């Protein structure tokens, strides 16, 4: 009986020590921007990334979004462009990837990956901090 009680206590203590691994924190807006946006927009969003020189059009300076919008950061317009809801007119082309689709696919393929809305919101918060 004493041995069985010792085994039971040991199993209980061991069981209390074993926990589920914590879900990874969602990527920060700065990390998501660095990974997905900086190649074109540059590390600070000024349109000077290494790929920008190969583009047929000028890559916009994202640090002036609020200035170009009367001092108000256009969060919803930015979100709709990042996630793909805002597409150019039929005669134009969209050079920027539709990140909403990319982030949604990542969420389906990677356990505990952040969703597209969460990642886009984090990028918007990062861009808001970059404004002049």
Q: Is 84 helix (H, G, I), strand (E, B) or coil?
A: coil
The pLDDT assigned to 70 comes to 97
The pLDDT assigned to 112 comes to 87
Instruction: Pull the structure tokens for residue 26.
Output: 């969602």
DSSP single-letter state for residue 92? S
User: Taking the complete model, does pTM exceed 0.85, yes or no?
Assistant: no
CA distance 79 to 73: 11
Q: Split the chain (132 residues) into runs of 10 and give each run's mean pLDDT.
A: 51 52 76 97 97 93 97 96 79 80 91 92 97 96
List all residues 6 or more positions away from 113 whose beta carbon is below 8 Å from its beta carbon. 106, 107
Q: 24-130, what's its fold?
A: Cytochrome Bc1 Complex; Chain D, domain 2 (1.10.760)
Instruction: Pull the structure tokens for residue 119.
Output: 């990642």
The pLDDT assigned to 25 comes to 72
CA distance 85 to 116: 13
């Amino acid at each position: 009986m004493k041995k069985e009680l010792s085994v039971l206590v040991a199993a209980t203590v061991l069981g209390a020590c074993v926990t589920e691994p914590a879900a990874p924190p969602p990527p920060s807006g700065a990390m998501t921007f660095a990974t997905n946006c900086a190649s074109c927009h540059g590390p600070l969003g000024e349109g000077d990334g290494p790929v920008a020189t190969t583009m047929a059009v000028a890559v916009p300076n994202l640090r002036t979004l609020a200035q170009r919008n009367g001092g108000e950061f256009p969060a919803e317009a930015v979100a709709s462009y990042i996630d793909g809801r805002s597409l150019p007119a039929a005669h134009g082309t969209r050079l920027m990837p539709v990140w909403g689709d990319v982030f949604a696919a990542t969420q389906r393929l990677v356990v505990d990956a952040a969703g597209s809305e969460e990642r886009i919101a984090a990028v918007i918060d990062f861009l808001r901090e970059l404004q002049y």
